[in-house]
């Protein structure tokens, strides 16, 4: 049995037995893990307040050979989402990150770029300003999974969009010019194409002072989210909740 301490972000918890919890954890060193926190709901000393999804923790855990679940010994909070004000929209954004990472990340496969993306996005997800970090996260996670097409050229013929709308449709990879679009597709505006280019070139902090109401770049978020759903082969529950908020 090898004992580790690693930075991690809590994704989900499920109650088991009397007071135990199963915790899904995205660790920096070992990728996504599931572990058992014995007596977690009784032991405030070992886990107090640190089991809320999207809490950034230092996790102490033991990996046992031939066992699927690691043993979680204790967590220390680095940053808690509960340290800022939570309203329904911020909670919906945090749940969105958690659902995507839970679905996308393979077990035991570290992904430092995704880990850094998540920490940067969490820092920006404040009450009253969720749409910028949501958009940034949706685009980058799609790209880091290798599912983001070139946003400046038609996937079919390579022609640059050059100030014209691009077209996409559900259940199909890519962005298309007017000649190669299909009926019943959606558009990605030239503004959103330009914004996507900036998002892939600049750190999230570069956007922190921009005005970002919920209707800004809606087409870009929808494009990224449908790409994620297409590859995951299911609707994201939290994306439905966000769509109801207008996002």
Contacting residues toward Zn ion, per CB under 5 A? 154, 156-157, 177, 180
To the nearest 10°, the Cα dihedral for 4, 10, 115, 137? 180
Which positions ≥6 away from 189 have C-beta within 8 Å?
Answer: 165, 219
Nearer to Zn ion, 162 or 206 (CB): 162
Q: Minimum CB separation from Zn ion for residue 155, in Å?
A: 8
Secondary structure (3-state) at 224: helix
Nearer to Zn ion, 110 or 190 (CB): 190
Nearer to Zn ion, 180 or 214 (CB): 180
What percent helix, strand, coil does the chain show, rounded to 5? 35, 25, 40
Q: Minimum CB separation from Zn ion for residue 124, in Å?
A: 35
Q: Minimum CB separation from Zn ion for residue 178, in Å?
A: 8
Nearer to Zn ion, 57 or 175 (CB): 175
Q: Minimum CB separation from Zn ion for residue 232, in Å?
A: 27
Are the CB atoms for 27 and 59 separated by under 8 Å?
A: yes
Q: What angle do CA 156, 159, 163 make, to 5 degrees?
A: 125
Q: Minimum CB separation from Zn ion for residue 164, in Å?
A: 11
Closest among 151, 142, 169 to 228, alpha carbons compared: 142
Which positions ≥6 away from 67 have C-beta within 8 Å?
Answer: none
Nearer to Zn ion, 156 or 234 (CB): 156
Q: Minimum CB separation from Zn ion for residue 147, in Å?
A: 20
- Which residue sits closest to Zn ion, CB atoms considered? 154
Nearer to Zn ion, 113 or 157 (CB): 157
Nearer to Zn ion, 12 or 180 (CB): 180
Distance of CA 100 to the CA centre of its chain: 5
Q: Minimum CB separation from Zn ion for residue 161, in Å?
A: 9
Which positions ≥6 away from 114 have C-beta within 8 Å?
Answer: 26, 101, 105, 141, 144
Give the span between the Cα atoms of 231 and 88, in whole angstroms: 28
């Amino acid at each position: 049995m090898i004992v580790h301490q690693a930075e991690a972000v809590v994704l989900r918890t499920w109650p088991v037995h009397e007071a135990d919890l199963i915790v899904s954890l995205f660790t920096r060193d070992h990728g996504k893990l599931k572990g058992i926190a014995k007596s977690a709901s009784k032991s405030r000393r070992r886990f107090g307040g640190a089991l809320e999804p999207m809490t950034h923790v230092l996790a102490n855990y033991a990996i046992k050979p031939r066992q699927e679940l690691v043993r979680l010994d204790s967590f220390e909070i680095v940053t808690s989402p509960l340290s800022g004000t939570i309203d329904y929209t911020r909670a919906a954004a945090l749940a969105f990150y958690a659902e995507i990472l839970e679905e996308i990340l393979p077990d035991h496969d570290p992904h430092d770029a995704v880990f850094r993306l998540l920490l940067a996005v969490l820092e920006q997800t404040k009450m009253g300003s969720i749409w910028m970090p949501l958009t940034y996260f949706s685009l980058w996670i799609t790209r880091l999974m290798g599912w983001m097409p070139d946003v400046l050229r038609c996937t079919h013929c390579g022609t640059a969009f050059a100030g014209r709308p691009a077209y996409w449709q559900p259940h199909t990879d890519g962005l298309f010019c007017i000649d190669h679009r299909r009926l019943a597709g959606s558009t990605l505006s030239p503004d959103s194409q330009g914004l996507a280019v900036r998002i892939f070139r600049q750190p999230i902090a570069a956007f922190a002072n921009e005005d970002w109401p919920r209707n800004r770049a809606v087409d870009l978020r929808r494009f990224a989210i449908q790409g994620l759903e297409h590859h995951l082969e299911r609707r994201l529950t939290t994306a439905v909740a966000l769509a109801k908020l207008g996002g």
